[in-house]
């Protein structure tokens, strides 16, 4: 069978058992693949056209002679036919050549545009001849080049994990916004968003879980912003927002983002709380170029993180001073630890059954020689981020254990609780260090309690579980601090060797005016009882809250109603005075407990 008569492939003729052949046949109809041959070859066009022109010319000449009865010799007839045939065939060949030339010119034009990055043009293939096949191949080349160029641009300008714009594209868009703002004088905002405790998620739950959290955060940010806004990821857990409008618009959008992040992330059988801090810089007040705006937004973000405020607007000189102060804090913290500037103040815990003081929580304080009293909220987050928290925790545990020994030497049956971080329980050597401290001080293990936040206890890594089990085996008590804020499941609590739940102050304070909080507190107390755990309510500020908690069956309370944190010597005197009053007159003791708000 000749090439001209070979039947074309048809996708419709493929049987269901041959899907691959069907797709291949369909592809051969739409795009020329390597080895595909044209139905009509270009060399056939021109000879065929010329022969057809000569035949048509002869036919027309014969008809004319017959109609006009024009006498002519055979030689004259042939000569005339040749002249007419050449004229007609020349005209036809000129037309065909012009048509073919235009098709080739179009292919050349499309290739030239492709070379300069314009992939929008395509060639009309027309006939299925050599040029048509070439046109199809050019179209395929352009489409492939466009797709490859798109992938290259996306990888160069977007974050591969989340698909968000990266730093390069963000800087370009900020510069574009700056140019537009100079012409229209319209303000815009740059906001830096940083996740809280993301390092803990990575370290305890693994980088795959961390990536899942980042993708979820990116999706929530996309849904919370407007179409005119840009969400970019700079790397790690740091995102940047480019927001149209001034301060009011920025606050509105970041408010929606805060609401979107409130819902925990459901990952397998675990809930992960997504906390964040946002700093905002407004153009033109806070910067006239992209680097300045980003730097000032970053400064505001760190202030929000230290103050746990959620969102902060850059405020110029004050925040510049805070930033310089923050950068020098690491060296000062080390000096503070070595120079005795860190101290533990102790807040009492009251047993609601006996009415006695049965425990103290040691709270770290920093007495800076020039800054004065530095709140924990300013240096603890910094210490956690820089890894210096382990040094602080080691000192806190040793100091708390030493004070517990001093209380024992005074025959006070009062235990001491100290706070440890999630990073500490991930440290393989942590439980060994606790054991060394107990042996060195010859302290009864039950006099020491380690408080770990609920979110910190959610880690189920091998190191964390081994540490907790080893510490519990020593006889040291473990407490779940800030319970109710970390979404721990009943299954997880049953697996952990803990002895106490501490209801977070956000649920306790004002619970008599909030039925929802009251229900949470009551449910937590019942849960603790069912698990065989003691329950302590933090943040008790009124006698009404004390009575309500006693009626619910809560074991212990702690808060400003009972006493504020006090230095060691003061808290010892405070306890001894109350125990002496209790021994002499319980009626007077309980009257003082109810009538005197703080006893300080």
Q: What does the pLDDT read at residue 567? A: 94
Higher pLDDT, 409 or 97: 409
On the question of pLDDT at 371 being above 60, the answer is: yes
How do residues 464-482 score in pLDDT, each as one tens digit?
A: 888 899 999 999 999 988 8
β partners of residue 368: 372
Q: Which strand (E) or helix (H) includes residue 18? A: none
Tokens at residue 86, please?
């050449």
Same fold, 167-326 and 330-595: no
Query: ∠ CA 193-194-195 to the nearest 5 degrees?
Result: 125
Higher pLDDT, 233 or 72: 233
Map out the domains of the chain as residue ranges: 26-155, 167-326, 330-595
Q: Indicate the pLDDT class of residue 265, thresholds 50, 70 and 90.
A: confident
On the question of pLDDT at 358 being above 90, the answer is: yes
β partners of residue 480: 452, 501
Helices (H), 265-369: 290-307, 317-327, 329-339
On the question of pLDDT at 497 being above 80, the answer is: yes
Residues 237-272 as b/e (b if ≥16 CB within 10 A, e otherwise) read bbbbbbbbbeeebbbebbebbeebbeeebeeeebeb
> 167-326: which CATH architecture?
2-Layer Sandwich (3.30)
How do residues 431-459 score in pLDDT, each as one tens digit?
A: 999 999 999 999 999 999 999 876 666 55
On the question of pLDDT at 8 being above 80, the answer is: no
Q: What does the pLDDT read at residue 403? A: 97
Quote the CA–CA distance of 499 and 534 in Å, as a whole number: 6
Q: What does the pLDDT read at residue 99? A: 75
Query: 62-71, 157-166, 292-301: which has the highest mean pLDDT?
Result: 292-301
Q: Indicate the pLDDT class of residue 49, thresholds 50, 70 and 90.
A: low
> 330-595: which CATH architecture?
Alpha-Beta Barrel (3.20)
Q: Indicate the pLDDT class of residue 512, thresholds 50, 70 and 90.
A: confident
Q: What does the pLDDT read at residue 310? A: 87
Tokens at residue 474, please?
């020593």
Percent of the chain surpassing pLDDT 90: 32
Quote the CA–CA distance of 81 and 68 in Å, as a whole number: 16
Q: What does the pLDDT read at residue 536? A: 96
Higher pLDDT, 371 or 4: 371
Average pLDDT over residues 183-212: 83
Q: Indicate the pLDDT class of residue 85, thresholds 50, 70 and 90.
A: low
Quote the CA–CA distance of 59 and 57 in Å, as a whole number: 5
Q: What does the pLDDT read at residue 82? A: 65
Q: Indicate the pLDDT class of residue 317, thresholds 50, 70 and 90.
A: low
Average pLDDT over residues 114-130: 74
Lowest-pLDDT range, 205-209, 522-526, 564-568?
Answer: 205-209
Higher pLDDT, 35 or 52: 52
Query: 79-83, 104-108, 284-288, 536-540: which has the highest mean pLDDT?
Result: 536-540
Q: Indicate the pLDDT class of residue 18, thresholds 50, 70 and 90.
A: very low
Q: What does the pLDDT read at residue 322? A: 56
In angstroms, what CA-CA distances link 233 with 126, 242, 437?
Answer: 47, 11, 44
Q: What does the pLDDT read at residue 253? A: 94
Spatial CB neighbours of 419, under 8 Å, sequence gap ≥ 6: 361, 362, 363, 364, 396, 450, 451, 452, 481
Tokens at residue 363, please?
């709270």
Q: To the nearest whole number, what is the mean pLDDT of the chain?
A: 79
Average pLDDT over residues 519-543: 91
Average pLDDT over residues 13-18: 37
Quote the CA–CA distance of 571 and 558 in Å, as a whole number: 14
Q: What does the pLDDT read at residue 110? A: 80
Quote the CA–CA distance of 562 and 349 in Å, as a whole number: 8
Spatial CB neighbours of 420, under 8 Å, sequence gap ≥ 6: 393, 396, 397, 430, 450, 451, 452
């Amino acid at each position: 069978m000749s090439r001209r008569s070979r039947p074309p492939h048809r996708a419709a003729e493929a049987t269901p058992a041959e899907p691959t052949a069907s797709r291949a046949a369909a592809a051969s109809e739409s795009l020329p693949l390597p080895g595909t041959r044209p139905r009509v070859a270009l060399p056939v066009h021109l000879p065929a056209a010329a022969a057809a022109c000569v035949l048509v010319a002869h036919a027309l000449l014969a008809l004319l002679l017959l109609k006009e009865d024009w006498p002519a010799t055979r030689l004259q007839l042939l000569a005339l036919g040749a002249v007419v045939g050449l004229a007609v065939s020349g005209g036809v060949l000129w037309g065909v050549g012009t048509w073919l030339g235009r098709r080739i010119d179009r292919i050349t034009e499309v290739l030239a545009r492709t070379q300069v990055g314009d992939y929008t043009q395509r060639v009309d293939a027309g006939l299925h001849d050599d040029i048509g096949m070439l046109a199809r191949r050019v179209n395929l080349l352009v489409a492939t080049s466009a797709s490859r160029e798109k992938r290259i641009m996306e990888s160069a300008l977007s974050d591969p994990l989340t698909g968000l714009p990266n730093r390069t594209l963000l800087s370009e868009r900020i510069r574009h916004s700056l140019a537009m703002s100079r012409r229209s004088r319209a303000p815009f905002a740059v906001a830096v968003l940083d996740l809280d405790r993301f390092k803990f998620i990575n370290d305890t739950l693994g980088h795959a879980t961390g990536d899942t959290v980042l993708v979820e955060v990116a999706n929530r940010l996309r849904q919370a912003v407007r179409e005119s806004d840009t969400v970019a990821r700079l790397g790690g857990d740091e995102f940047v927002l480019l927001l149209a409008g001034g301060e009011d618009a920025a606050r509105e959008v970041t408010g929606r983002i805060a609401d979107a992040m409130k819902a925990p992330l459901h990952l397998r059988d675990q809930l992960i709380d997504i906390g964040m801090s946002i700093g905002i810089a407004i153009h033109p007040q806070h910067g006239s170029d992209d680097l300045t705006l980003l730097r000032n937004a970053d400064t505001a973000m760190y202030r929000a993180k230290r103050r746990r405020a959620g969102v902060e607007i850059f405020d110029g000189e004050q925040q510049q001073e805070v930033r310089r102060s923050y950068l020098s804090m690491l060296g000062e913290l080390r000096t503070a630890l070595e120079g005795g500037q860190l101290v533990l103040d102790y807040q009492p815990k009251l047993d609601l059954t006996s009415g006695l003081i049965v425990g103290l929580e040691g709270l770290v304080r920093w007495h800076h020689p020039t800054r004065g009293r530095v709140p924990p909220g300013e240096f603890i987050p910094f210490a956690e981020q820089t890894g210096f928290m382990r040094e602080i925790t080691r000192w806190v545990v040793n100091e708390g254990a030493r004070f517990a020994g001093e209380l024992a030497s005074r025959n006070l049956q009062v235990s001491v609780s100290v706070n440890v971080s999630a990073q500490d329980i991930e440290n393989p050597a942590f439980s060994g260090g606790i054991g060394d401290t107990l042996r060195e001080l010859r302290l009864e293990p039950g006099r020491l309690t380690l408080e770990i936040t609920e979110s910190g206890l959610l880690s189920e890594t091998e190191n964390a579980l081994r540490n907790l089990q080893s510490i519990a085996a020593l006889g040291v008590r473990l407490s779940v601090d800030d319970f109710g804020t970390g979404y721990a499941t009943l299954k997880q609590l049953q697996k952990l060797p803990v002895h106490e739940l501490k209801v977070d102050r956000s649920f306790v304070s004002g619970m008599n005016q909030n039925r929802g909080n009251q229900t949470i507190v009551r449910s937590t107390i019942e849960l603790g009882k069912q698990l065989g755990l003691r329950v302590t309510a933090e943040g008790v500020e009124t006698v009404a809250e004390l009575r309500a908690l006693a009626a619910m069956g809560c074991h212990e309370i702690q808060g400003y109603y009972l006493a504020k944190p006090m230095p060691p010597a003061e808290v010892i005197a405070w306890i001894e005075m109350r125990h002496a009053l209790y021994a002499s007159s319980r009626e007077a003791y309980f009257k003082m407990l109810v009538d005197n708000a703080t006893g300080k």
